[in-house]
Structure 1
Amino acid sequence: MSRTLVVTNDFPTRRGGIESFIYALCNRLDPDEVVVYTASMPGSPEFDARLAYRVIRDRSSIILPTRAVASRTAAVLRAEGCTSVLFGAAAPLGLLAPRLRDAGANRVVGMTHGHETWWARVPVVQGALQRIGDNCDVLTYVSEFCRRRIGRGLSDEALRRMVRLAPGVDVDVFRPDSGGLRMRAQWDIAPERPVLLSVSRLIARKGQDMLIQAMPQILAAVPEALLVLVGEGPYRRHLERLTRRHGVEHSVLFAGAVPWSEAPDWFDCADVFAMPCRTRMGGLEPEALGIVFLESQACGKPVLVGDSGGAPETVRHGDTGYVVDPRDPEAIAERAISLLADREIARDLGMKGREWVEREWTWETSLKTLRSLVDGP
């Protein structure tokens, strides 16, 4: 693999799905293969000092495709001897592609995620997305849904060059019996208590409100059920009020934000994982994929997946979990009850999910694809 300059705003210490994806890819490359150029963030000097590869921070907290950033990025490319560029998110940083080619980049790859789907629909930025597609050798996509939506804003040639590059799951980390009993003991959750878990930022799109609205129906059938919400975000106060309004505040646990290292323990702690994500803003804000669905299946848990964007691609409906209507709490409750009330069925679906993730969602496949893209034909 050529020495690659990863240009991205999506990198720790910021937290999120894209950040985790880029970070995991960089960590799995040989340290001599990669240099990261990213924004300044709180705590970044201490974080970067622990990494085996070079990270160079721009002076700004967000890097944009300005003339000044282009000059600084080109200087890093030349100084580090990089011959390929990977944009962690193609829009808008992919607009730097022509300048970096002039600086010596032989290959330019842009990763797309969910936000480019609305770039493809909004006329004022659609032209910029088309330029990005034409100036990159390849744009990647994480789901077929994203490919179709983003493709509407690309030229025919750029659309033909798109290649799937999805995140993988470390099945040695995310696995059954990884620490669920320890987590239950830590939070005083009885070993046999049925647990419905959701892990994500507390924002409207993730659908925690629908889970809370489903709880009265769930409790009528499974009285000891506990809904655990892991994560933090601006929606928390609304969700707390919602638990009181529906009289389920004693059956909902807000665990707050947790370190990434604890995520496998939380998945293992659950009987069922649910995130009824929904598309918002008239279709401009869908779920691009949903790595948490795959991580929970790797831990042997069945999943309830909201029918939004590319999220249904992370489950085999009826075999490893279910796709649910994210705006119908009664339908969500029915699926949750069927799994919480029959742990044998839940375990069967969960183990089928793990087998599927082990077979189809490996980091080895992701790295092989990445190397083929930055090295070129």
Structure 2
Amino acid sequence: MAGKHTSGVGAPLKRTPGTPPKILVVTNDFPPTVGGIQTYVRDYLATYDPDRIVVFASTQDPAAAAEFDSAVPYRVVRWPRSVMLPTPATARRMQRLVAEHDIDTVWFAAAAPLAIMAGAARRAGAARVVASTHGHEVGWSMFPGSRHILRAIGQRVDCLTYVSRYARSRLAGVCGPSVAWEPMPGGVDTATFTPDPVGSSEVRRRYGLVERRVVVAVSRVVPRKGQDALIAAFPDIVRRIQSAHLLIVGPPGRYGAFLAKKVKDLGLTDHVTFTGSVPFAELPSHFGAGDLFALPVRTPVSYTHL
């Protein structure tokens, strides 16, 4: 996770050549909170030596966080707020962790906005600073103020990672010419996410979808994921394909009530099913229950990518 150093003079490496770097992960996006970046970070850390990892994360649910942290093999230090901002207090705590744990590399698991603290990490002794981009940074790139923050991040970190060529193409010009870019796509555990006809058939039976043509959307149920766009399109789909059914899989949260009302108002009660949260072990079967997967995710300015 280290790139060519281009943005200043880093500290010398603190490890014996040939040993992996000791990494401090700084993130707002970490389990037990459910989400794409949270899963991305968790899964990458599962591939690394736990003795070489320290995580500095925000706290959405203290009790759930304590339970999760006690079960992982690496150390997790929690910032006692639901959102970690790049304030002087946050930077000082991060710097203490760099010094206390003899950190070589600081990884900002989501570049915007926390990676603006890259200079503070380097001054504390970090030899390399890496920040990962995902999708929300594309929205940041559309406005002058947030574009300025992305440019500053690009000037301060050694390496930015990207999950898709599209995201890099939108961000490279904004973040500046000096930073290195490396691909770091989200992985898929093919031993878990593999076709399971028996399990998928059981899911279809459970929800009464055996004879239906199923569109499935598996995600958090939040405005940015675009489930409302699928619901809005479904009356026209049903007129063309009467057996069409939309299966929305994921924790409903507060947004779920809004979507349920939208389904009722459009007369789609018999054509849309909300499963709510499902056990992780059942996710492959829920993916497989669909004839088509659709998730029209939006950028923060509501442009919908289909």
**Which category describes the TM-score, using the shorter chain as reference length?**
0.7 to 0.9
Q: CA deviation at 1:217?
A: 4.2
Local SS of the residue matching 2:174: coil
Distance 1:41 1:277 in 2: 24
1:206 is the counterpart of 2:240: no
Worse overlay, 110-119 or 11-20: 110-119
Distance 1:63 1:237 in 2: 28
1:164 is the counterpart of 2:183: yes
Q: What is the one-letter code of the residue matched to 1:80?
A: H
Q: What do the CA deviations read for 1:218-239 (whole angstroms, capped 9, x no partner)?
A: 4445433322111214443343
Distance 1:111 1:100 in 2: 16
Distance 1:37 1:277 in 2: 28
Q: CA deviation at 1:184?
A: 3.1
1:63 is the counterpart of 2:88: no
1:260 is the counterpart of 2:258: no
Q: How many equivalent residue pairs?
A: 283
Q: What do the CA deviations read for 1:318-342 (whole angstroms, capped 9, x no partner)?
A: xxxxxxxx5xxxxxxxxxxxxxxxx
Residue 364 of structure 1 is matched in structure 2 by: none
Identity of aligned residues (%): 39
1:274 is the counterpart of 2:298: no
Tell me which stretches of 4 or more aligned residues in structure 1 moved more than 4 Å.
none
Distance 2:117 2:296 in 1: 37
Contact 2:103 2:126 in 1 (8 A): yes
Q: CA deviation at 1:193?
A: 3.6
1:22 is the counterpart of 2:41: yes
Q: What is the one-letter code of the residue matched to 1:55?
A: V
Distance 1:93 1:124 in 2: 15
State which of 107, 113, 126 in structure 2 corresponds to 1:86.
107
Residue 215 of structure 1 is matched in structure 2 by: 234
Residue 246 of structure 2 is matched in structure 1 by: 227
Local SS of the residue matching 1:249: coil
Residue 119 of structure 1 is matched in structure 2 by: 140
Q: What do the CA deviations read for 1:262-299 (whole angstroms, capped 9, x no partner)?
A: 32121122222122334562xxx56xxxxxxxxxxxxx
Contact 1:129 1:153 in 2 (8 A): yes
Local SS of the residue matching 2:204: helix
Contact 2:136 2:299 in 1 (8 A): no
Task: Map 1:1-377 onto structure 2 (within 5 A).
Answer: 1-42=20-61, 43-158=64-179, 161-177=180-196, 179-185=199-205, 187-231=206-250, 232-279=252-299, 281=301, 308=305, 326=306
Local SS of the residue matching 2:112: helix
The TM-score with structure 1 as length reference comes to 0.69
| Structure 1: gaps (5+ residues) | 287-306, 309-325, 327-377
Q: What is the one-letter code of the residue matched to 1:252?
A: V
Local SS of the residue matching 1:196: strand
RMSD of the alignment, in Å?
2.2
Distance 2:146 2:233 in 1: 39
The structure with the largest helix share of the pair is: 1
Q: What is the one-letter code of the residue matched to 1:19?
A: Q
Contact 2:131 2:159 in 1 (8 A): yes
| Structure 2: gaps (5+ residues) | 1-19
Q: CA deviation at 1:112?
A: 1.1
Q: What do the CA deviations read for 1:140-160 (whole angstroms, capped 9, x no partner)?
A: 1112222122223222222xx
Distance 1:36 1:155 in 2: 28
Distance 1:203 1:56 in 2: 28
Contact 1:120 1:152 in 2 (8 A): no
Distance 1:216 1:125 in 2: 38
Q: CA deviation at 1:188?
A: 4.2
Relative distance call for 1:55 and 1:245 in structure 2 (3 A) is: same
Relative distance call for 1:211 and 1:125 in structure 2 (3 A) is: closer
